[in-house]
């Protein structure tokens, strides 16, 4: 396994390429040999929330899935994927029966869940239950977590270009505010890791589905800033800028750390983002 060389930056306000403000907060730890992105600052603000983000490091898969590929239908051997999942779940102490997984069909549908399982036809999950770990699998698309500490309501979303344009973030905030009556003034959100604007080129017809602020044409291509779009959607739904956090990494810019569907032309693995309301001690 490659040696991990990551710095843990101080919490500071940053701007996306489009000048959208956010905080960058992910820190790296190593548990049972697996590097994990965690959010100590966010968990301090939002007690009860637990988030783990994986990188490509710490597993057993050979190239181009090296090494912690958690995606099943990407070309890697199932035995490798199963072993990687086992290693991860042991490292984070989450039993597999707790995993609630969205099928992820690049849509904007969301399921409300109370137990583990595969939820078909959705790209987002909402829960108020403990002993459920919401799971989002990505390799360039953005995982987005929204949590309201006072109501104990948690959402995990898979936000790619289609789901974003389809309004999945707005949809999640509708469920959280209407069904669970969350106070968006005190809700927090995490966005990413995902592909940055410089790395993400799209067809014109796809770019034009997004506001002018997050798309730009240069060097012969349309570029889409999905990170800025996610943050703006969260803002529009009522979240305060001070409560929106960015993992701080582009999956495509960092081949040493992340899989990237775009950069690796589809032959690559998947990371997991796990979010749960911590069980009572």
Cα 74 to chain centroid distance, Å, stands at 19
Return the biggest CA–CA distance within the chain: 55
Question: What's the closest the beta carbon of residue 280 comes to Zn ion, in angstroms?
Answer: 40
Question: What's the closest the beta carbon of residue 113 comes to Zn ion, in angstroms?
Answer: 32
Q: Catalog residues that contact Zn ion under the rule CB under 5 A.
A: 196, 199, 250, 252-253
Environment class of residue 44 by beta-carbon count within 10 Å: exposed (0-12), middle (13-18) or buried (19+)? exposed
CA separation for the pair 81, 71 (Å, rounded)? 7
* Nearer of residues 14 and 185 to Zn ion, judged by Cβ: 14
3-state class of 119 per DSSP?
Answer: strand
Question: What's the closest the beta carbon of residue 197 comes to Zn ion, in angstroms?
Answer: 8
* Nearer of residues 108 and 250 to Zn ion, judged by Cβ: 250
CA separation for the pair 277, 16 (Å, rounded)? 29
3-state helix/strand/coil string of 179-194: CCCCCCCCCEEEECCE
* Nearer of residues 45 and 199 to Zn ion, judged by Cβ: 199
* Nearer of residues 105 and 253 to Zn ion, judged by Cβ: 253
Question: What's the closest the beta carbon of residue 200 comes to Zn ion, in angstroms?
Answer: 7
* Nearer of residues 14 and 183 to Zn ion, judged by Cβ: 14
Question: What's the closest the beta carbon of residue 150 comes to Zn ion, in angstroms?
Answer: 36
């Amino acid at each position: 396994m490659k040696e991990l060389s990551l710095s843990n930056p101080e919490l500071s306000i940053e701007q996306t390429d489009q000048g959208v403000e956010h905080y960058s907060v992910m820190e790296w730890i190593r548990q049972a040999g697996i590097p994990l992105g965690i959010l100590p600052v966010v968990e301090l603000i939002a007690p009860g929330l637990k988030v783990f983000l994986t990188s490509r490091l710490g597993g057993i898969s050979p190239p181009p899935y090296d090494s912690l590929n958690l995606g099943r239908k990407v070309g890697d051997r199932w035995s490798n994927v199963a072993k990687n999942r086992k290693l991860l779940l042991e490292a984070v102490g989450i039993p597999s029966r707790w995993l609630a997984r969205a099928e992820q069909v690049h849509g904007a549908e969301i399921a409300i869940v109370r137990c583990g399982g595969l939820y078909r036809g959705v790209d987002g999950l909402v829960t108020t239950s403990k002993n459920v770990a919401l799971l989002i699998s990505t390799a360039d698309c953005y995982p987005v977590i929204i949590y309201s500490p006072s109501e104990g309501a948690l959402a995990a979303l898979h936000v790619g270009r289609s789901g974003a344009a389809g309004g999945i973030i707005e949809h999640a905030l509708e469920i959280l505010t209407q069904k669970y009556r969350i106070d968006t003034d005190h809700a927090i959100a995490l966005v990413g890791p995902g592909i940055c604007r410089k790395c993400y080129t799209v067809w014109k017809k796809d770019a034009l589905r997004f506001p002018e602020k997050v798309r730009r044409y240069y060097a012969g291509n349309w570029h889409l800033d999905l990170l800025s779009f996610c943050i703006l959607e969260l803002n529009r739904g009522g979240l305060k800028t001070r409560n929106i956090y960015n993992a701080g990494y582009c999956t495509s810019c960092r081949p040493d750390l992340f899989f990237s569907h775009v950069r690796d032309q589809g032959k690559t693995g998947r990371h997991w983002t796990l979010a749960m309301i911590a069980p009572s001690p």
